[in-house]
Chains A and B, each alone.
Chain A
Amino acid sequence: MEPLKKRTALAASWLLWLWLAAVIVGAFEYAPLAAKFIGQSSRILFFHVPMAWAAFTAFITAGVYSLRYLFGGRSQGSPRDPRHDRAARAAIELGLLFGVLATVTGAVWSRIMWGAYWNWDPRQTSIVMALIFYGAYLALRDAVEDAEKRARLAAAYAVLGLVVTPFFFFVVPRITFSLHPEPVINARGRVEMDPRMLQVLLASGAGFMALFFWLHDLRTRVLAVADRALEAAALGARPAAAANAAASSGATGPAPHLGELRAGADPATASQRTGNW
């Protein structure tokens, strides 16, 4: 990475940490307590809600990258771009992380407010369904050995998830109303919010989104490095073929006519290539 880019990235990440620190302080010192909440529990709002937003963003990001991987403009016959697949996977992993955190903080809050960790609030249920999806995606990836097939199948599943998830959001609220007739307090939406609370909430939201995108970038790069290591290991195991490829690419013009080409037929190098299998 060029020095300027590196310094900018470093400065940006410091800024992010300072911002989030300010949010934490602000959540406890600057924002007032909300009227309807027990004790200090409204502080959770400033973390639980942005985490859910981040998890939601992660899901959308994964869907978009999966679509780009599968259908993103490429010419007939050329391989798909693994960067999109890596980005989708990183988004799902982070979505799982933020989603679990959101669910846990939500459950703690629910316990304080209503005495139960779980009360079938539509948002609670929807987020858990999304989490199950993320987990299934990762289970699918683990079950496919070949890299190209793994990326393709996982991306297809992610897109299927994208298609099905909206149904969670407008089916579930109706269903849970019918299961449990008591009204559900949607504390996030309808409560009149003190302007200072709103400021901290939005600041926290921005911070968490930035955190998500920063972590996403980091994770995607880690995955890229891992893939490159694998490719290097593969190339290293066939030095003669690699040399041949380099030699052939040095020759200009169309592929040499058969009869002239002998890929890797040199007996001296044959012994080097038997180590793999």
Chain B
Amino acid sequence: MPPALSFAQVRRRFGRLAVLGGVSASVATGEVLLVTGRNGSGKSTLLRCLAGLLAPDSGTIDYSEDGAPMDAAARRRRIGLVAPDLAFYGELTAAENLAFFSRLRGIGRERGDELLRRLELPPDRPTAALSSGMRQRLRWAWALLHRPRLLLLDEPFQNLDAAGVAIVRRLLAEHLAPSPAAAGAPGLAVVANPVPLEIGSVAGNLDLGA
């Protein structure tokens, strides 16, 4: 099966600091690429490049959706991100936040409501009043809202209690290999974490070291 995501020689520096020094890998559908490395080794930078939030200085990133390259609009439809610095509108509730993004993406409210239920999020509390664990669950809900093909997960279990971890593991498994009853094609994921995580379907490890 052709890789659904591949990147080659991606470099990014900030001033004098070379954060990414030419990294390459590829991921196929149904697989997880695990990116590990110490703090500051460039894991988040790599994920941001893959998400289109940062432009690499050089190198290529190919998202082959049936062989055709993706433009920015398609990337927005196909990519979901969970990251520690992702934040939502504090004065709006979790439900309102998801409703806003649902409207933006042109999808109905049902998916947002379903995710709120599954992640056991209090729908009517302002997001600013949520605990850090709840906020992490909201990030997961937001990332999965539009049923993306590619999940980029930066420290995905951060702040989650055991119950939360169990829920998101199940969601990730469903993302990678949806049951026949569920809609959608299988997805893929890139997971960044300081230490290796026990996640099913890890097909490879990119260690940025340092």
Contact = CB atoms under 8 A, between A and B. Distances in A.
Q: A and B touching (C-beta < 8 Å)? A: yes
Given A79-B57, A248-B24, A276-B17, A255 B210 contact: no
Interface in B9-68: 9, 11, 13-18, 21-27, 33, 40, 54-58, 60-61
Contacts of A8: none
Contacts of A242: 21-22
Interface string A261-275: 111111000100110
B6 interface: yes
A242 B13 CA distance: 13
A146 B14 contact: yes
Contacts of A249: 9
Task: Provide the main secondary structure of the chain B interface.
Answer: strand
Interface string B157-197: 00000000000000000000000000000000000000000
A49 B206 CA distance: 62
A258 B17 contact: no
B155 interface: no
A234 B60 CA distance: 19
Given A146-B14, A148-B57, A277-B17, A256 B24 contact: yes
B203 A244 contact: no
Contact of B22 (A248, A274, A276): A248
B186 to A, nearest CB: 17
Nearest to B36: A265
A237 B14 CA distance: 12
Nearest to A77: B61
Contact of B18 (A238, A254, A266): A238
A264 B24 CA distance: 11
Nearest to A262: B207
A47 B209 CA distance: 61
Nearest to B75: A77
Interface in B93-114: none
Contact of A263 (B23, B26, B54): B23
A265 B21 contact: no
A228 B48 CA distance: 25
Contacts of B60: 77-78
Given A230-B15, A237-B18, A263 B207 contact: yes
Given A77-B60, A145-B15, A263-B206, A254 B21 contact: no
A245 interface: yes
Given A79-B56, A245-B21, A258-B26, A265 B209 contact: yes
A101 to B, nearest CB: 33
Nearest to A231: B13
Given A241-B22, A244-B22, A255-B26, A148 B207 contact: no
Given A76-B69, A255-B7, A270 B208 contact: no
A234 B7 CA distance: 21
B23 A237 contact: no
Contact of B69 (A77, A146, A234): A77
18 contacts: A80-B55, A235-B21, A237-B16, A238-B18, A241-B21, A248-B8, A255-B25, A257-B3, A258-B27, A258-B206, A262-B207, A263-B24, A264-B207, A264-B209, A266-B209, A273-B210, A274-B210, A276-B16
